[in-house]
Amino acid sequence: MSFDAKTFLRTLTEEPGVYRMIGEGEVVLYVGKAKNLKRRVSSYFQRTQLSPRIAIMVGQVVRVDTTATRSEAEALILENNLIKSLGPKYNILFRDDKSYPYIAISGDEFPQIFYHRGGFRKGVRYFGPFPNSWAVRDTLHLMQKIFRLRTCEDTTFSNRSRPCLLYQIQRCTGPCVGLIDKEAYAADVSLASLFLGGRHGDVVDDLSRRMQEASDRLAFEQAAAYRDQIRNLQAVLHKQFVESARDEDVDVLAAVERGGLVCVNLAMIRGGRHLGDRPLFPANAQGCAPLDALVAFVEQHYQDHPVPGRVLVNLDPAPVREALEAVVEGKVVVVAARYENERAWIGMAENNAGLALLVREQESSRGEQRLEALRDALQLAETPTRIECFDISHTMGEATVASCVVWDGTAMKKSEYRRYNIAGITPGDDYAAMRQALTRRYEKVAAGEGVRPDLILIDGGKGQMGVAREVLAELGLDITMFGVAKGESRKPGLEELVFPDGREPVHMRPDAPALHLIQEIRDEAHRFAITGHRARRAKARNTSRLEDIAGVGPTRRRKLLAAFGGLDGVRDATVEDLCRVDGINRHLAEQIYNALR
C-alpha cells in the first residue's frame, strides 16, 4: 500500500515531538525528534535532494506515527528510549561493547584510588571518562609515583600487620600500619583530586609551598621529598602536554568516511594531557555522510558522559553544536580547529580514524575469505555470518561454568557473550553441563525471543555432539552444527571436525583459513569459560572456606586473617605457623591446613 504523504502532512502539529517511520509488516524504519513536527516530517517528502540512503528509506514508508511532547528536551529523551527499544533499521547507532573506564577515589578514612568501569556508587568520587584502559592504568601509575595513595582492597588494608612492597618502593605511604596520619594522607588525596580534575598548576603551587615551609623548619629531608614530587610532576606534564600550555579539557571528534564505511574518532584532552583515542563505528550507517554520523555520535555519547569545556570537530560545527545543545539544554562550545595545536589534534584524530578504517577493511576482507572457506569445507548451502561456540570449564567438577561466544560477520561480538553457572548436575558430568547450557541458550530462540545463529560450534567430540543434537531436536530447532575434537596429541592443527549426522570426521590442513577461523572462535570460548570458572571458584573459596571449618568462629577467623594478612596468607601458612596464633591448637591448625589445600 502506498503512503499518502500530502494528506498526512496536513494533519501534523507544529509542536515538538518524536516521529516513527513505519514500513511493511510494521517494521520500524526510523525514529527521529523535531522542534516542529510538521516542518521536520514534511522535509522528507518535499525535498528532492535527499541522500540515497534516506531516499531508499522514504520509499519504504507506509505510515508515520508521531508523539507530541511539551519540549524538545522531552522529545530527545523519548527518541533515545525508542531507539534503544526498537532498534530502527535506518537510525545511525553507536554501540560500544564496554563502558568508558574511570579513576575512582573511595570515601574511606584512608581513601583507596582504583580503576573503575560500570555504575557509580554513592560516596565515591569518579574522574574521567578515559578513552581506554591503558590511559587509566598509566595515570594510576603516575598517581602512585607522585601522591603515593593506597591501591589495595579494603580487606587487605584492614588486615595488614606490616607494610607491603609498594611502601618499600615508595609507591604508597603505608596508611595500613599507621606510617602516615589521617590529616597528611587527606592532604595527599586532595592534591591527587586536584590533579585528576586538571588543576595541575594548583598542585605544583601547593607542593612548592609545602617544600618552602619544610625548608623554613629545617626539615630538609621532607623538603627534598616535596622537591622530588614537583620534579616528577613537571617531567610528566612536560612529556604529555601535546602542544597545549593550558590546563584545558577538550574532546576532539573527527568523522572520516572511506569505502562506504564511517568512523568517528574520539580523542580526549584532560588538563592539557592527551589521554588517547577511541575509534567508534556506527551501526546502520551504510551510505551515511560523516557529518550525520558525527551528529548521531554527540547525541548519544553525551547522554551518558559529561561535556568538557570545548568540543573540537573536523566538520561544520554548527549542526553538531545544535545537536549537543539539545542534549545538555544549554550553551556549549563546539568549534573547528583555529590554532596550531588544535589543527595538530584534529590531524591526529583524522589519521587515527583513517588507520582504524583501514584495519576494519582488512579484517572484513579476511573474515569474508575465512567464512567462504568454512562454507566450502563444511559443504554448506550458504555462507554463515553468525556463529556461536560453547565450551565447559571446571576443576574436578568444582564451579562448573559454560561459555557461549559469538562471531558476527567479521569479528567476535563480545557484547553478546554469555556465561552459564551450571548447577544441579553430577560434578564433572560435561554432557549434562553442555545440555543445561544449550537448553538455557536456545529455549528463548525457540520461543522467538533470541537471535538465531547460522552455525553452532561445540568444543568437544561425538558425545557432546550427541547431546547438542538431542537438545535442538527437543526444542524443535534445525541449526547446522559441528564439534571440534582435539587430536591425539592435542596439538593445534590436528583437530578433527565431528558432525551430528554420523558422517566421517574431517581433518583440515594446519594452514587452512577455515581451520584458523574455527580455532580462533574455539579458543575464545575456552578463554571466556576458564576465566569465568576461575572467578567463580575464587569467589567460593575466598568467601566460604574459613567459615566452613568447624571450630573457627568470627573471633578466631579475625585473628587468623590479621596474623597472616588475609586468606591467601592463611592458605600459605604451615601447621606450625597456624599454631602460633592465639586460640589455635594443633588439632585445629591441622583441620584448617587440610581444609584450605
Residue 297 lies in a domain: yes
d(CA 111, CA 125): 10
Say yes or no: 472 and 330 in one domain. no
Flag whether 181 is in a domain. no
- Is there a single domain that holds both residue 399 and residue 530? yes
- Same domain? For 507 and 409 the reply is yes
* Rounded distance between C-alpha atoms, residue 233 and residue 69, angstroms: 51
The CATH number that applies at residue 39 is 3.40.1440.10
In this structure, are 394 and 522 located in the same domain? yes
Domain that holds residue 51: 5-86
Residue with cell string 534503544: 84
Q: Following DSSP, what letter does each residue of 208-271 receive, concatenated?
A: HHHHHHHHHTT-HHHHHHHHHHHHHHHHHHHHH-TT--S---EEEEEEEEETTEEEEEEEEEET
199 within a domain of the structure (yes/no): no
**Given this model, what pLDDT does residue 243 score?**
42
In a 3-state reduction of DSSP, which class is residue 537?
helix
Query: Which pLDDT band holds residue 491 (cuts at 50, 70, 90)?
Result: low
* The three grid cell numbers given for residue 367, joined into one nine-digit string: 573474515
> Does residue 186 lie in a domain region?
no
Report whether 420 contacts 411 (CB < 8 A).
no
In a domain, 146, yes or no: no
Q: Is the pLDDT of residue 212 over 70?
A: yes
Q: Which of 60, 86, 112 is the last residue of a domain?
A: 86
pLDDT in tens, 586-596: 888 888 888 77
What CATH number does the domain containing 552 carry?
A: 1.10.150.20
Residues 345 and 414 in one domain: no
156-174 average pLDDT score? 85
Residue carrying the nine cell digits 561454568: 401
Where helices occur in 307-429 by DSSP H, the ranges are 317-328, 340-378
Q: How far is CA 148 from CA 73, 184, 445, in A?
A: 44, 12, 52
Neighbours of 382 (CB within 10 A): 8
Q: In 3-state terms, what secondary structure has residue 268?
A: strand
- pLDDT score for 27: 84
Q: How many domains does the chain have?
A: 4
Assigned domain for 429 exists: yes
Query: Which of 302, 288, 289 is CA-nearest to residue 334?
Result: 302
Q: Are residues 521 and 549 in the same domain?
A: no
Quickly state the pLDDT bin for 210 (edges 50, 70, 90): confident
Q: How far apart are CA 37 and CA 16, in angstroms?
A: 6
Residues in the chain: 597
Of 53-62, 210-219, 249-258, 369-378, the least confident: 210-219
Q: Is 350 exposed, middle or buried (0-12, 13-18, 19+ CB in 10 A)?
A: middle
Does residue 97 surpass a pLDDT of 70? no
Asked whether residue 160 is assigned to any structural domain, the reply reads no
Q: pTM of the entire structure? A: 0.55
CATH number at residue 516: 3.30.420.340
Co-location of 340 and 396 in the same domain? no
For the chain, give the longest Cα–Cα distance. 92
Domain co-membership, 408 together with 454: yes
pLDDT over 50 (residue 443): yes
Co-location of 501 and 404 in the same domain? yes
Main-chain dihedrals φ then ψ at residue 256, nearest 5 degrees: -130, 140
Cis before residue 129, ω within 30 degrees of 0? yes
Residue 416 maps to a domain: yes
